[in-house]
Amino acid sequence: MFMLQNRSQVTYLRLPALLKTSTCWQNKDTTHIILTLIDDDSDSVMASLEMLPEELPDSFEINSLLQVAAEEKSVIHAEPVTKAEFTKSGKLTLRICKVQTMATEAMCFSQLDITEGFDENQGLGADDWIKTRPLNATLNNTEASGQPPRDADSDKVYRVAATLSVVRESIPIEGDGVYCPICHIANIDIGKLHTPCPNCCRGLLKFGWA
* pLDDT value for 2: 52
- How long a stretch of residues is the chain? 210
Report the pLDDT averaged over residues 64-83.
76
Residue type, 160: V
- pTM of structure: 0.51
| Cα Rg, the chain, nearest whole Å | 21
Q: What is the spatial distance between Cα 62 and Cα 125, in angstroms, rounded to a whole number?
A: 25
Say which residues have a Cβ less than 8 Å from residue 180's Cβ, sequence separation at least 6.
186, 197, 199, 200, 202, 204, 205
User: Range of 70's domain?
Assistant: 2-98
83 and 132 share a domain? no
**Confidence grade of residue 4 (pLDDT, cut at 50, 70, 90):** low
Last residue of a domain, one of 98, 132, 159: 98
Q: What is the spatial distance between Cα 151 and Cα 167, in angstroms, rounded to a whole number?
A: 24
66 and 156 share a domain? no
Last residue of a domain, one of 53, 83, 98: 98
Query: Per-residue pLDDT tens for 168-187?
Result: 888 888 899 999 999 999 99
* pLDDT value for 101: 52
* pLDDT value for 202: 94
Question: Of 207 and 103, which is predicted with more confidence?
Answer: 207
Residue type, 98: K
